[in-house]
Chains A and B, each alone.
Chain A
Amino acid sequence: MSEKKKRSFRLPNMTSFFASMISIGIGLVFGLILLIILNPEASGEAFVSLISAGFRSSDKFAKVLYQAAPLIMTGLSVAFAFKTGLFNIGATGQYTVGGAFALIAAIQLQQPWYVCLILALIGGAFWGLFPGLFKAYFNVNEVITSIMFNWIAMFAVNLTINNLPMMLAKYWGGAQMDRTANLAQANPSALIPRLGLDELMNSNYMNISIFIAILFAIVAWIILSKTTFGYELKACGFNRNASIYAGINAKRNIVLSMVISGAFAGVGGGLYFLAGTGQYTLLKQLLTAGFNGIPVALLASSHPIGTIFSALFVSYIQVGGDAMQPDFVKEIIDIIISVIIYLAAFALLMRELLTRRSMLAHDAEGDTPLPPADPEEKSEVSES
């Protein structure tokens, strides 16, 4: 029994990897067609830079790693919630609050980077607490709470930063009124260490944030698949009533899922703003970084280790998209990613077919779970 269980767990991972690769291939072809339609003359060169810019030079590759770190974290945030049966659309808010906590610790309180990062984690977890509590104790859908708290986070952070005079760039001799201080001026010790990597890669984007993000992905994977606690979280996601019956405290687990999910997004915000290359701008728009976690998680089929690779991929073609300018708009990248995600729906179908075939081939005992039905098999039942 245990051997069979192992196989059926391992198999979907491989097939989902192949399915994702095929989706990516089709998505890129779609992008190429789009480029040809928009501007046939420049399309060839643009496509080459789209798929190769990230590897073209060490500083471009550093940019890929730099962008991937927060993406891994927000992707992990969404993926962790998905695994436990929740949809965390509030990664944006948690990312914003995490980033703000980190910046306040860095500039107002003059703390070193690791303290700032821990505060970012606490900030994100704090913001994840609300959707969790409201879902568990008041039966409010976590999607609506997350959406509302995204906006509340943005206004609250704008309000707070405006009222802490040290936070703004103007206090430190900067010219802009609408953003937080440049960390290199305000508190260099809060910058995430570079350990000489920046000189090695010849880019001031490079720091150790990518390694921190990978570490968190491994932690998430261990929690989810190697601990009883993670098993309980997943059980609540699969069937809340059954897990209550089995003696699991479902309410506590829902809250903890959201808190952990929020903590990941918060660290993402911390990693981004403590890199020193981005300042928080007092805008009236939600930060898109949190929403980008959703495609990263979906592309990885919500597997924590998978999010590392999907975030690297997304970041890689984003760098490629920047290199296509000014002949093409960089939003073409978003179109390609959206096509890939849409194809993930087809991938699901493909995976089911592959799984079923291999199960039929390997299993002679006859107690395989009922394979999902094929949509082609549906018969037409007419109205009236």
Chain B
Amino acid sequence: MNILADILSATILFAAPLLMVALGGMFSERSGIINIALEGIMIIGALCSCLFLRVLDDSGFGALHPQLAMFYAVLMAAGTGALFALLLAFASINLKADQTIGGTALNMFAPAFAIVLTWAIQGQGQTTILIPTWARITQETFGIVEKDTFLQNLIFKSFYQTTIWAIVLLIAAVIVLYKTRFGLRLRACGEHPQAADSVGINVYRMRYAGVFISGVLGGIGGLAYTLAAGSAFQSTVSGYGFLALAVMIFGNWKPWNILGASLFFALFKILGSYSGSIPFLPKFENIKASENIYLMLPYIVTMIVLILTSKKSRAPKSEGIPYDKGRR
């Protein structure tokens, strides 16, 4: 039973960053901008929030009010991610550049900048930023006695504030996208910007908003990934930004589908890393390094599902096309 709790809690832990970043990508693409820079945005969000956590730890504030400090870190990740994303918005909206150009530049900039900055702050060769131990939510946070039960293992094994934020932001995303005037306008700009413009919607402003929101979600997602991946930030999010892009397409640019896609992908990923300790899975004893088979599994399964569901797949019609007022 304990292994089941472990697998489920790890799945949720890894699904949270995928979910948030994919939702970010969704907002950007729904407004008409392909955001390939999600990887870079995640790194910048994680970098700044982890540095901020270090500062809070050194000043003693973090140990006193751990969850309040985490809340500030989340805000930091969101803010820096959004600022960084504005660079993409400027290149692709104002300059009407190819959206992959700006995105590639940001993806290349972020990890290099992270390494340069961590070196500059922490001294030569110090490329990791340790995350304070108080960041995790434990039984202690709620004053509950620690017990080795299924439920406690499920919830507290790896529980961070970012997981709560993932749920809150998912609900917020659904409401904003489908229940507000803003959401309707945003979607219109991704489908038919000329029509949106003709009824008085400022397409440039809506696209800026879409990219900004993707920066907020991508930044928090970066922090969530770093918390999930280990005890330190190492100037990388190991391709999770690109995976989130895949999850977004897998989820057909719809929030609930994206939730399903990220849980599905995370579950297969965790099954891969736990494959040795799950009794009913085949072990492939005569093959060396057979763990690679399980590590491949999430990607292969995703591809198969994509082929099966591709008939229904529908991207926002005008994504990737710079909007030009002169061409109606």
Contacts and interface: CB of A to CB of B under 8 A. Distances in A.
A373 to B, nearest CB: 3
B249 interface: yes
A152 B245 contact: no
Interface string A347-384: 01100000000000000000000101101011111111
B303 A373 contact: no
B197 A295 contact: no
A145 B296 CA distance: 14
B200 A348 contact: no
A242 interface: no
Contacts of A342: 87, 91, 101-102, 105-106, 109
Contact of B325 (A149, A339, A373): A373
A114 interface: no
Contacts of A219: none
Given A286-B239, A349-B95, A331 B116 contact: yes
A375 B97 CA distance: 11
Given A158-B292, A162-B289, A345-B95, A339 B245 contact: no
A338 to B, nearest CB: 4
Contact of B115 (A141, A150, A152, A331): A331
Given A152-B296, A159-B289, A381-B197, A339 B105 contact: yes
B113 interface: yes
Given A38-B116, A346-B95, A155 B296 contact: yes
Interface in B256-313: 287-290, 292-293, 295-296, 299-300, 302-303, 306-307, 310-311, 313
Given A139-B310, A159-B293, A295-B108, A345 B101 contact: yes
Nearest to A344: B101
Interface magnitude class on chain A: 35 or more
A148 to B, nearest CB: 4
A333 B109 CA distance: 10
B14 interface: no
Interface in B52-107: 87, 91-92, 94-98, 100-102, 104-106
Interface magnitude class on chain B: 35 or more
Residue of A87, A326, A377, A379 with most partner-chain B CB within 10 A: A87
Nearest to B308: A138
A152 B287 contact: no
A378 B201 contact: no
A80 to B, nearest CB: 15
Interface in A317-331: 326, 329, 331
Contact of A87 (B95, B100, B295): B100
Interface in A138-173: 138-141, 143-145, 147-152, 155-156, 158-159, 162-163
A142 B98 CA distance: 17
Nearest to A34: B116
Contacts, number: 170
B245 A143 contact: yes
B302 A148 contact: yes
A134 interface: yes
B7 interface: no
Contacts of A370: 326
A24 B98 CA distance: 19
Given A345-B95, A348-B95, A334 B111 contact: yes
A143 B315 CA distance: 13
A258 to B, nearest CB: 15
Contacts of B250: 144
Given A151-B299, A156-B296, A331-B111, A141 B249 contact: yes
Given A339-B109, A373-B325, A375-B96, A345 B102 contact: yes
A144 B302 CA distance: 10
Nearest to A286: B239
B169 interface: no
Interface in B8-54: 36
B118 to A, nearest CB: 9
B119 interface: yes
A298 B101 contact: yes
A140 B306 contact: yes
B124 interface: yes
A335 B310 contact: no
Q: Ordered nearest first, which 5 A-B pairs have the shortest CB separation?
A: A345-B97, A373-B326, A334-B112, A162-B289, A338-B109
12 contacts: A89-B242, A138-B310, A149-B303, A152-B300, A156-B292, A335-B109, A338-B108, A341-B104, A342-B106, A344-B101, A345-B101, A348-B95
Given A138-B307, A155-B293, A341-B101, 20 more contacts: A89-B36, A139-B311, A141-B315, A143-B249, A147-B245, A148-B300, A156-B292, A285-B238, A295-B105, A326-B124, A329-B119, A331-B112, A332-B116, A338-B109, A341-B105, A348-B95, A370-B326, A372-B96, A373-B327, A375-B94
